Amino acid sequence: MKSNKILNIFIAAVAIIGGILFIRIFMEDTEAIETDVNVANSVVSPLIYYSTYLFYAAVIVTIGLSLVSLFRNPDNLKKTLGGLAVLAVLLFIAFFLSDSNVVYDANGLNILKGGEEGSSVNKWVGTGIWYSTILLIIAGLFFVWDLLKGLVKPS
Write the CB contacts of 43 (distance below 8 Å, at least 6 apart in sequence).
Answer: 24, 25, 28, 33
Question: Looking at residue 54, what is its pLDDT?
Answer: 95
Long-range contacts of 136-145 (CB under 8 A, 24+ apart): none
How far is Cα 135 from Cα 89, in angstroms, rounded to an integer? 12
Question: Looking at residue 1, what is its pLDDT?
Answer: 63
pTM of the model: 0.59
Write the CB contacts of 109 (distance below 8 Å, at least 6 apart in sequence).
Answer: none
How far is Cα 142 from Cα 82, in angstroms, rounded to an integer? 18
Strand partners, 104: 111
How far is Cα 71 from Cα 9, in angstroms, rounded to an integer? 29
138 in Cβ contact with 116 (< 8 Å): no
pLDDT in tens, the chain (155 residues): 677 888 889 899 999 999 999 898 888 877 777 788 888 888 888 989 999 999 999 999 999 998 898 889 888 889 999 999 999 999 999 999 988 777 777 777 777 776 777 777 888 888 999 999 999 999 999 999 999 988 887 75
119 in Cβ contact with 100 (< 8 Å): yes
| 68: three-class secondary structure by DSSP | helix
